[in-house]
Amino acid sequence: MSETIIVVPCYNEAERLPVETFQGFVRRTHGIRFLFVDDGSTDATGGVLRALKASDPGCFDVHTLEANAGKGEAVRRGFLAALESDPDYVGFWDADLATPLEAIREFQGVLDGRPDIEMAFGARVRLLGRAIRRNRLRHLLGRLFAITASLFLRVDIYDTQCGAKLFRVTPDLAALFKEPFATRWIFDVEIIARLMRARTATERPQVRDIVYEVPLSEWRDAAGSKIRFRDFVIAIFGMIEICRKYR
C-alpha cells in the first residue's frame, strides 16, 4: 500500500479547522498522514493542532513556523519536512477542506494506476453531476487567471490555483521545493515554472506528459474566504515576476 503525507498549511484556523472531519477520515483510511504547518498563527491554532496531534500521533504531525511566511513558504517547509519520512506521495490540501478529503484517494488512484504521471492536480470544472460551488466573481477571476497562466507558461492547464495537489516522490521533487518561492500566493504556478525549466532541453517527459488534472466531484467556497479584484492584479504582477525569473 502506498504511503501518502498531506501538508496542510494553517494560518489563524482555530475557529475554522474541521478537526472532527480529519479525525474521522484517518479512522477509516490507511496509509495517509497529515502534516499541519502552523504559519505563525496569532490565534489558538497552535493549541488546536497540538491537541489534534495528541489524539493520533501516528496520523497527525505539526510543524511550526515562528513568524507568518505565507502559504507558499508554509507548503514548501512542510514538503521538505515530509520528504524526510520517505513516503510514496506528498501533497498539499487547503485547511478549510474546500476539496473533500475523500478526493485524496482518487488522486492516489491516478498515481497508482499511471506510473508515467508524477503530479495530480485538482481541477474545479463545472460539469453536470458534479457539485462545484464557487462564487461567481471568484469563478470569473479564477478562469481569467488560469488562462493568463496558460499563456505565460505556454502550457494548457485548466486550474493552477486549486489547493488540492498530490506529487509522486521522485529524485527531482525535493529540488522543486529547495529554494523559497518568489511570490507568497501563486507558488503553484512557480512549481510548474520550475518543473518546466528543469525539463527544458532534455529528453525527459515534459510537463504536459507528467501532470494530470483531476476534475473534482465536489468543491465549495469556504466561509470567510474572500477575494478582491486587487488580489487578481497582484497575482498578475506575480506571474510576470515568475516568468522573468524562469525564462
Domain containing residue 41: CATH number: 3.90.550.10
Tell me, what's the pLDDT at 80? 98
Q: How far apart are the first and last CA of the chain?
A: 39
Q: Which of 175-184, 197-206, 234-243 comes out lowest in average pLDDT?
A: 197-206
Task: Fill in the amino acid letter for 211.
Answer: V
Runs of H (alpha helix) within 7-123 = 19-27, 45-55, 71-83, 103-113
> Total domain count for the chain?
1
Q: How far apart are CA 31 and CA 87, in angstroms?
A: 10
Per the listing, cell 515554472 goes with 193
- When pLDDT is averaged across residues 166-195 and rounded to a whole number, the result is 93
| Residues 6 or more apart in contact with residue 109 via CB below 8 angstroms | none
Confidence of residue 201 (pLDDT cuts 50, 70, 90): low
8 A C-beta contact, residue 16 and residue 95: yes
Q: How far apart are CA 243 and CA 241, in angstroms?
A: 5
Higher-confidence position of 151 and 224: 151
- DSSP, collapsed to helix, strand or coil, labels residue 50 as helix
Q: What is the CA radius of gyration of the chain?
A: 17
pLDDT, tens only, 83-105 = 999 999 999 999 999 999 999 99
- When pLDDT is averaged across residues 180-187 and rounded to a whole number, the result is 90
106, 101, 116: which is closest to 6 by C-alpha?
A: 101
Report the Cα 106 to chain-centroid distance in Å.
15
Tell me, what's the pLDDT at 35? 99
Tell me, what's the pLDDT at 66? 95
- Give the containing element (helix H, strand E) for 151: helix 136-153
8 A C-beta contact, residue 174 and residue 195: no
Q: How many CB atoms lie within 10 A of CB 109?
A: 13
Is a pLDDT exceeding 60 seen at residue 226? no
113, 206, 115, 123: which is closest to 161 by C-alpha?
A: 123
Confidence of residue 243 (pLDDT cuts 50, 70, 90): confident
- When pLDDT is averaged across residues 140-164 and rounded to a whole number, the result is 90
Residue numbers of the domain that contains 159: 4-246
- When pLDDT is averaged across residues 20-24 and rounded to a whole number, the result is 98
Tell me, what's the pLDDT at 136? 81
